[in-house]
Amino acid sequence: MLTQLKGGHVVDPANDRDGVGDVFIEDGHVVEAPGEGRRPDEVIDCTGLIVMAGAIDIHSHIAGGHVNTARLLLPEFHRAHQARPALTPLGQVGWTTEETGLRYAAMGFTTVVEPAMAPQSALHAHMELADTPIIDKATLVVLGNDDLLMRMIRDGESEAAIEDYVAWTVSNSRALGVKCINAGGSAAFKENVRKFDFDDVVPDYGVSSRRIVKTLQGAVNRLGIPHPLHVHCNNLGVPGDSAASIEATIKAAEGLPLHLAHIQFYGYGAEGSRKFSSQGQHLADLVNSTREVTVDIGQVMFGPTVTISSDELRQFAGRGQASPKKSIIMDHEGNGGGVVPMEYKQKSYFNALQWAIGLELFLLIEDPTRVFFTTDHPNGAPFTTYPDIFALLMDRGVRQRWLDALPKSVVKMTTLPEIEREYTLKEIATMTRAAPARLLGTPDRGHLGKGAVGDVAVYRPGEDKAQMFGRAAYVLKDGQLVVKDGAVVRRTFGRTLTLRPEPDKAMVKRLDRYFDESYGLPSRWFEVPDHALGRENPFKVMPCRT
């Protein structure tokens, strides 16, 4: 079937399109305009509308053991449990697998990456993703606090051996990339260490956070995994130390690609009477001048939410701020993690400054191909707040109205009121479509050129940007109309994007032995067999760089 999206304003930076035109889709893919005489089977009139590729979220905690633990901990955040759901953003998300898929689709997002899958709960994460409708999914698998990697580094094993281990982990867990979360910090916390810097060493292993990050960065790069090592730095959220940690990590990129996650949580200085200040300008300068790094923001928005992280040390340290006052800290193999509910209050100096720092970073980092749009869902805010953030980025007047509602003490501590930049539609499309596809190594999406998957988001432009991005006029997934006027009209199931690097046979044998002898676990339990997911073609394998 040939579908024509007719006469819309097509914003497709990857193909240098920014003007009125048509997009044609056939058999789930974008095709060139057919010759004279062929009439489309379906015409969607896009006159006066904005047409973009489906959006891609590179970092959103939507599935897996930790996310599900958060659901378990917080029945009060779920819509059906409360009489007054409108007050709780997560209550509106519902944040079941079902609602996650439907609500992302309604905003025109068609691919979402779960960024923190533990190797031992890969199957669990993929089961949840298989139950998440409409959108395509992908995962990053977490290494960097695991016994074997640290042991291999300590014992001076070869680069090739470490690559084989990383390849096995990515392949078995059906991941699209590798993430490293407070490298060594979680392992150190199990040794009762309560503070861990980039050059601190993990007791017993004698390897530093820096060495772990550099080892994984090199292995990921040499394996040709398109997405650079995705790093969650040490000292998240700690005034002063967070900024020092991220600066040290950025400088350690040393010319090789490196992605730094939710950098807003590291933009904290320790100046001022409250010992909490913005390092936004400094951090943005550092990112601007370090061409090999990419970042995402982790914007904070006001309201109740929950923080879900495999940074067990950080979550332990943050449990005193839990609201409501309860948290779950998990001592698992490798990273472990924690779930701490949180309320970001507009009237709080600290929370309001966090909000401002996120926007400073968005606006002061110049290159929209290197800064990515995230709230670190749900850590900074639920993904349902995205439309408001688009409005804040695109409209200085909206920012001013939000600033007017903040405590005066905050406004004095941020450069946000002076920043004039407003994101253009082209920059939004770059940041949420073209650039993420390139960053993830998924050339089949993020654009509307010939051969791209038929994932399209059509928006009704207007003064109210939040309204525009909150309810897409049309969304097509693989060429099928799934959303109309912000409402889901067809519930389909997408696929999960993975890499399949061929694991070395000797490493497979070694890991069989290792997991059996060390943990008493058969290595086959770490596998994610296709049959488990109960969907036809659950995976789409993306190529590694050659």
Partner 1 sequence: MAANLVRASRLPVITGLQADLSAIRAAIELARIAGAVVDHRSSQAIYPAIRAIRDCGAFLGAPAEMRRRADRVLLVGREPFAGDPDLAEFLLKSEPDLGVRTRGHGRAVVWLGGEPGATLPGAASVEIVECAEAAIPDVLAMLRAGVAGHRFGPGPLPAETIADLADWLKGAGFGCAVFAATEMDELTAEMLLGLVGDLNGETRFSTLPVFPGGEAYGAALAATWSTGFPLRVSFGRGEPEHDPQIFAAERLVRSGEADLVVDISTLTTTGPALPDWTRGVPLIALGSAEVVAGLPARVAFGVGTAGRDHDGVLFNARFGSFAPVSASGEGSGAPSAAAVLHAVSALLLSAEASAAA
Among 45, 292, 331, 463, binds partner 1 (CB under 8 A): 331
Pick the binder of partner 1 from 57, 114, 128, 427 (CB under 8 A).
128
Minimum CB distance to partner 1 smaller for 68 or for 430: 68
Termini Cα distance of the chain: 35
CA-CA distance, 19 to 21, in Å (whole number)?
6
Could you say which of 1, 20, 33, 72 contacts partner 1 (CB under 8 A)? 72
With CB under 8 A as the contact rule, the residue among 328, 429, 437, 458 that binds partner 1 is 328
Which is nearest to 250 in space by CA: 196, 297, 210? 210
Which residues ranging from 499 to 528 are in contact with partner 1 (CB under 8 A)? 518-521, 524-525, 527-528
Asked if 87 touches partner 1 (CB under 8 A), the answer is no
Q: Which residues pair with 343 in a beta bridge?
A: 304
As given in the structure block, the two tokens for residue 509 are 């044998």
CB of 506 to partner 1, least distance (A): 24
Residue closest to 405 by CA, chosen among 352, 461, 336, 334: 352
Judged by CB under 8 A, which of 38, 81, 274, 401 binds partner 1? 81
Contact (Cβ atoms closer than 8 angstroms) between residue 374 and residue 298: yes
Shortest CB 272 distance to partner 1, Å: 30
181-204: buried (b, 16+ CB within 10 Å) or exposed (e) per residue?
bbbbbbbbbbeebeebbbebbbee
Q: Is the distance from CB of 53 to CB of 448 less than 8 angstroms?
A: yes
Scan residues 452-471 and list those touching partner 1 (CB under 8 A). none
- Determine which residue in the list 190, 345, 484, 510 makes contact with partner 1, applying CB under 8 A: 190
Among 31, 330, 411, 481, binds partner 1 (CB under 8 A): 330
Q: According to the binding rule CB under 8 A, does residue 488 interact with partner 1?
A: no
Is 307 near partner 1 (CB under 8 A)? no
Amino acid symbol at 69: T
Residue 326 in contact with partner 1, rule: CB under 8 A: yes
Using the rule CB under 8 A, give the single segment among 5-13, 123-131, 348-356, 430-438 that binds partner 1.
123-131
Q: CA 267 to CA 415: how far, in whole Å?
A: 13
Q: Crossing angle of helices 209-222/159-173, nearest 10°?
A: 70
The Cβ of residue 484 has, within 10 Å, a number of other Cβ atoms equal to 17
Among 58, 141, 258, 322, interactor with partner 1 by CB under 8 A: 322
d(CA 363, CA 440): 23
**Contact track, partner 1, 199-238, x by CB under 8 A:** ----xx----------------------------------
Count of positions (residues) in the chain: 546
Contact positions vs partner 1 (CB under 8 A): 63, 65, 67-69, 71-75, 78-81, 94-98, 120-121, 123-124, 127-128, 131, 147, 189-192, 203-204, 316, 319, 322, 326-333, 336, 518-521, 524-525, 527-529, 531-532, 534
